[in-house]
Amino acid sequence: MSWPTRLRERGEDPDPRFSFANERTFLAWIRTALALMAGGIGLEAFAPPLAVPGLRQVLAGLMVLTGVATSALAFRRWLRAEEAMREGRSLPAPRIAPWLSYGVAAVALAIFILLVIANLR
């Protein structure tokens, strides 16, 4: 039995507006994942060498891997929300959101500091 069939057997169909909103949220997570991957590739391809050799590659790799993880978890997030709506439960909190926001902020701050140090030389 396919996952759409198993999903439709649970609870009741939610209001289509809620399902479409859930889909838009899924697509926003996918756009975020693509932006992270593009940012990591851009960092590696176009940023000047940082103060610490090899750190640019590590930061770029972290950004790409974060994008991959975000993309992989986006569907699970969509499915959990859809199941909750069908069963009349509260929507689940997005587990990846705090990690993603703090992680992106930390990487951005590290890149900023390292670029400033590199430009002071």
Kindly report the three-state secondary structure assignment for every residue of 79-97: HHHHHHHHHCCCCCCCCHH
Burial of 44 (0-12, 13-18, 19+ CB in 10 A): middle
The pTM (predicted TM-score) of the whole model is: 0.81
User: 73-111, pLDDT tens digit by residue?
Assistant: 999 999 999 999 999 999 998 888 898 889 889 888 988
Confidence of residue 113 (pLDDT cuts 50, 70, 90): confident
Q: Is the pLDDT score of 34 beyond 90?
A: yes
Mean pLDDT of 39-60: 87
Q: Tell which wins on pLDDT, 21 or 112.
A: 21
Cβ contact 23:81 at 8 Å: no
Give the CA dihedral 111, 117, 118, 119, nearest 10 degrees.
110
d(CA 80, CA 91): 8
Burial of 30 (0-12, 13-18, 19+ CB in 10 A): middle
d(CA 28, CA 22): 10
